[in-house]
Amino acid sequence: MSADYKELTRSFEAQKIDPAAFRHMDHVGVAYEMLQKYDFLHATIEYARNIRMLATAAGVPEKFNTTITLAFMSLIAERMRTTPHTNYDQFLSENADLLNRDVLGRWYSAKRLESETARQVFLMPDIAVET
């Protein structure tokens, strides 16, 4: 399952990837690499900027969603801090749920995530989760 996410991340940051070929698994791998490379805020800003540019290049700028982007980056960063791992493959084997596009459904209703407001600003979760 391992892919060269370091190289893909370089291509992502240089905007030299095919948006149509950038799968959810690639989103997670690139986010992981960027969170390894930069502090959380810098990684999140750069990741969001590049995702927005990719969506625009693909002719679908409305697909960029601030809430989904920030929530996924936060979730991946938290898991990176709390899951013992030495590499991406090990991290992913311990956090396979990140490959499920609907993982945020634990905290967010579909209505909230799909809203125009969620595309523009970060929205707090609307589903209470017992810990």
Residue 18 phi/psi, 5° resolution? -85, 115
pLDDT at 129: 76
Q: List C-alpha distances in Å: 108 to 62, 65, 114.
A: 19, 13, 10
C-beta atoms surrounding 90 within 10 Å: 12
Please return the burial class of 129, using the count of CB atoms within 10 Å of its CB with bins 0-12, 13-18 and 19+: exposed
Whether the pTM exceeds 0.85: the reply is yes
Q: Which of the four pLDDT bands, split at 50, 70 and 90, describes residue 1?
A: very low
Structure tokens given for 122: 């970060």
Q: Characterize 5-37 residue by residue with b for buried, 16 or more Cβ atoms within 10 angstroms of its Cβ, and e for exposed.
A: beebbeebbeeebebeebeeebbbbbbbbbbee
CA atoms within 13 A on the CB side of 124: 2
pLDDT at 3: 58
Please return the burial class of 46, using the count of CB atoms within 10 Å of its CB with bins 0-12, 13-18 and 19+: middle
Q: What percentage of residues in the chain have a pLDDT greater than 70?
A: 96
**pLDDT, tens digit, 9 for 90 and up, residues 7-66:** 999 999 999 999 889 999 999 999 999 999 999 999 999 999 999 999 999 999 999 999
* Helix or strand (DSSP H, E) at 72: helix 66-82
Q: Is the pLDDT of residue 2 over 60?
A: no
